[in-house]
Every structure is written in C-alpha cells, then in structure tokens.
Amino acid sequence: MAYQFMKWPPASRFDLLPTALQPYIDLADEATTWLNFYSPAEVDERYEQHIHKLNDLLDSTMEAISCLEPDSDGAFEATLALFTVSVHQYRWKHVPVLQEIRDIKSMAVPPCFKNPLLHLTGKVGLPFAGSVYALVICNYDAASDGSRFMFNGILPGVMQTEKGWTKMLWTFERKSAPFLEQLVELCRALDDDSLPEKEKVIAKHLAMTKRLAASVFRTLHEFDSKKIISSKYFALYIEGPHGWGIDGIGGASGAQMLPVTSLDAILSIKGESMMYRETIRSRSAMTTKMRDYLSFLDTHAPKLREHYAHLPEFVELVRMVYNFRLGHRKIGIRYLASSEGTAGGKIQLTETRDGHEMVDKFEREMGARIKENHDYVDQLIELYGPPPEDMNRLGRNASMPVLSSLEPPEVGHRRFRHTSDVALNLIGGVMSLIPSVSSISEMGRSLSSLIRSRSSTVISPDDISAHESISESDSEQEEVVPKQNDLVENARRAFSSLVVGGNLDSAAAQKLMQSYEALLQAATNHTSATISKNMQKIDKTERVPDIPTIVLGYT
C-alpha cells in the first residue's frame, strides 16, 4: 500500500498573515488583556464593540483567506491559529476559565468568527472545536519569537511558563516526525514479501521504532523533572476544549497526541475502557491526513500482531507504552491535585467531593487503560516467553530515563484525603520503573496491602463510626511496626540484587530506597494526625473565600 507521509509537525508563519486580518490580530491582542483583568460581563461588552465591525468586513476576510492552502508556506496554519485563538477567547470570557463558563455546553459564535474558522477547519478536516492540533499551530515554535499568540501575555512569569509549556509541546511533536516516519517504513517492510530474512528486518524496524519513541516520550518527563512548567498556567491550555464536545479527562492518556495513538494502533493495544474508546473517538479531532495515517497503521496492525508479536522487540515496545502511561498518570494526578489545577482548586476552595471525584475519575479511568496495556504485556509473555534479560534492562532504562534522576517524592499532597493515598499512588510509580523481578513485585504488593489496611482506619468528618475507627486504629498499631521493619529489610535486599545483577545502578537504587522508606513511613504514621484533623468541626462559612470575579495575577 503506497503512502506519502504527511508534513509534520505543521509550521505556522505569522509574518505571512494576510493584511486584511489586521483587525482580528488587534482584537486577539486586546482580548488577552480583557480576559485577565475584566469580568465576563465586561468582556462581553467590549466584544460587542468589535463584532459589528468585523461582521461588516466578513466578505473581504473570506476573500483574503480563500487562497490559503495547508502544508504550503505556513500562512494557512498561522491563519487557522489566529481564528482558533479568537474563538477560544470569545468562548472563555475569563482566564482562568470560571466554572460557570465551563458548564456551558454549547454557544452561538458570531459570523465574523464562525465562517472563517469553518472554512479553514474544513480544508484540513478538523471539527469546529478545540484540538491539540490547533494548540500546536497556535504556538508552533516557542523557542523563538515565532510564537505569535499567547493566551496570557500580561505577566512575565505567565509568559515564561506558557513558553515552557509550548516549547515542550512543540518539542514533543517535532521529535515525533522521524518516529512517525519510521512506522511507515515498518509497514512498508511488512508489505514487502521479497525481503531476505524478513523477520530480522522487522525486528530491526521495531527496535528503531522503540528508540525513536523513547526520545519522544522522554520529553514529557524531562520537562516535568526540571520543573519548567508551572501547573498554575498549565490549566489555560487543558481547559481550551471545554464545551466543545471533547472530554478533557478523556484526552489525558494522549488520545489526541499522534505518537501515543499511533503506537496503540500499530501494536493493537486495544480494550474496552473509557480511555480506549476516547482514543478512537478523538480521531475526529484530528486532521484528515492524521486520520488517514492512523488508518494506514490500522491496516498493517493485524499482520504485525499475527506474524511478529513473538519478537522480543514487539513485547518491549508494548511495555514501553505501558511505562509511559504510568508516568503520564502520575503527572496528571499531580497537576489536577495542585491548588491551581482544575480539581485541586475546587478541593481547596470548597472542600466538596467534586474535586476529589474529578481526580478519582482520572485516576480510575487511566488505571483501567493502564491495566489493559499491562494485561496485553502479560498475554504476550505467556504466549511467547519474556524478552531476554539484557533487553529488559536496556529497554526499561531507555524508555524511562527518570530512573537515574528520581527524587524522593513529596508525600504531603493536598489532593489526597489521606496521606496513605499519596503513598499508594506514588509507590505504584516507583515500582513500575523497576524491571520485572519477583522480589520487587512481592515488595510492591506487600506495601500496597499495608497501606490499604491503614487507609481503612481513616475517618471522614461526618463518619458516625468515628470513635470505633479510632479504637480499631489504636489496636492495630502494634501489629504494623514489625511488618514495616520486615518490608524495609526485604526492600534493601531486593534493590541490592538489582544492583548486583546489573539491572539498576547504585545511585538510582539508593534514591528508590529512600523513596520507598518515606512512603512506608507516611503510610504507617498518618493515622493519628488525620483523625485529629478530621474530628475538628469545620465552619465552611468562615474560611471559604468567594471566587473573585476579576483575577489580577497569581502568587
């Protein structure tokens, strides 16, 4: 099957925007100020002053954009970025987006915005909605002054953070290009029955695919570990698709990110979870060429799965996607739980279950997709046996380099109702980074059981059986301490065996051991403090501030 690889990532040339669009450019710049300093009602009033004028210019606007073509000189992409930003700004009315705005499920867009955007999205097959593709072209090169449109251009700190985020997104997409092309080469090799020693050729293609994919996935962890991106401003991008029929939670597993979706397609990582269904549904938020590319991979996936799934390289590639999802879940939970994040802010301001439920949903749905990925790995190993140990070691370290730079985690996170929840969540991430060794797996299971048993003693403010829980927790304390000591000793032996066996360097082992002990200590010592806090009667009317109508900045 012949296939011409698409131009990726898209390049925007903001200096080539048609001069007839200057009124839109001026409005986009002005609206950045409005969204930060005025209430939604005041923003509406200011828009009314411009919309009538822009509607009068609609004919000349449509004429100016009619000759623009995608994948040419970058003018089309820049114009699409301009109207995407304009419609988002009109949709939001305020930055950060207020809850009452998020709750709006549909809206009428003035013709001056709607007609040009429908024309532009129609040319590339995008829906009239927010999409990752649109955000890529809005800030296509944050490493230079080429990023023309910022959703927040008022405070220097905000701009710096947004540039960090857009640089990460651009780097992620730029590194994807050779990886996505490599998948095309893999498919061509699958089609070529004249290849001598075809199985070895396919194995080499799979190994190269993994190497290039690891470079792409590493981007997210490198930017996160260096704290380049602040969660205070990350929300401005995540909240873009709200109200456009795109589930923000559903996109959390990379549903609209082409590299992740591509690997799911070619490796046949299927399932029944909400996240998997969202991955398939989110193809509608991609361009025609992106959908054609994924369809091309879909047609070759059965042949790869049927004839070459026994190759160790295939198993390791599937396992790498699993590892990426584990790390992605950890980062996503931390963002949602932060005081500035969507769910974290709700928890901090209202002390309601809404924020917790949002984080719980994300964790639950991501966990279901991760389990599907994990079960697929187990199925392959059961059918064909585990990959060679040396490949297992190299594969893990190549796909998840965070092993060599892991810092002991902070366990006092606000998102979690109980400190034990922090421990349980983070220990899963720590354990997932270690090669499959039985002692390590047993260590993780033992700790999880201990944490769960301690969690059962925690009470909520309105728990009618509070005093019974306190008594039960006191009686259990003596039994927990010996188990804790045993777990620490077992962990030391397990990490030592990994170092001796060459599966882990000593520095990484030491940091992992510190993390393990910190989590274990948090799991066993949190109960009394949590009970004391929860037993205090909370007067919400005194300590919950009103959400301000105007936000001047962040502290």
Task: Return the DSSP state at 9.
Answer: S
The token pair that represents 492 in the structure block: 């030391």
Please state at what angle helix 231-238 crosses helix 342-350, rounded to 10 degrees.
120
Run means of pLDDT, 10 residues per run, the chain, 555 residues: 63 85 90 83 91 95 95 87 83 72 70 92 80 63 50 57 67 84 95 95 95 86 63 46 42 64 95 88 84 94 96 94 86 70 62 71 87 94 80 40 33 38 45 43 50 41 35 37 57 61 60 67 51 39 28 25
Residue 396 to residues 226, 321, 504: CA-CA distances in angstroms?
21, 11, 10
Extract the tokens encoding 210.
């993994």
- The predicted pLDDT at position 45 comes to 92
**Sign of the Cα pseudo-torsion (201, 188, 7, 284, in order):** negative
For residues 155 and 550, give the distance between their C-alpha atoms in angstroms, rounded to a whole number.
15
Question: Residue 436: helix, strand or coil by DSSP?
Answer: coil
User: Which tokens belong to 233?
Assistant: 């401003």
pLDDT of residue 485: 63
Residues in the chain: 555
Q: How far is CA 133 from CA 3, 130, 151, in A?
A: 21, 8, 16
90 contacts 47 by C-beta, under 8 angstroms: yes
Check the CA dihedral 310-313-318-323 and report its sign.
Answer: positive
Distance CA 440, CA 168 (A): 33
Tell me which residue has tokens 């997932």.
432
Q: So what's the pLDDT on residue 334? A: 73
Check the CA dihedral 364-399-519-376 and report its sign. positive
Q: 295: alpha, beta or left, given left = phi > 0 and alpha = psi -120 to 50?
A: alpha
pLDDT at 11: 73
Peptide bond just before 461 cis, omega within 30 deg? no
**Is the pTM of the predicted complex or chain greater than 0.85?**
no
pLDDT of residue 21: 95
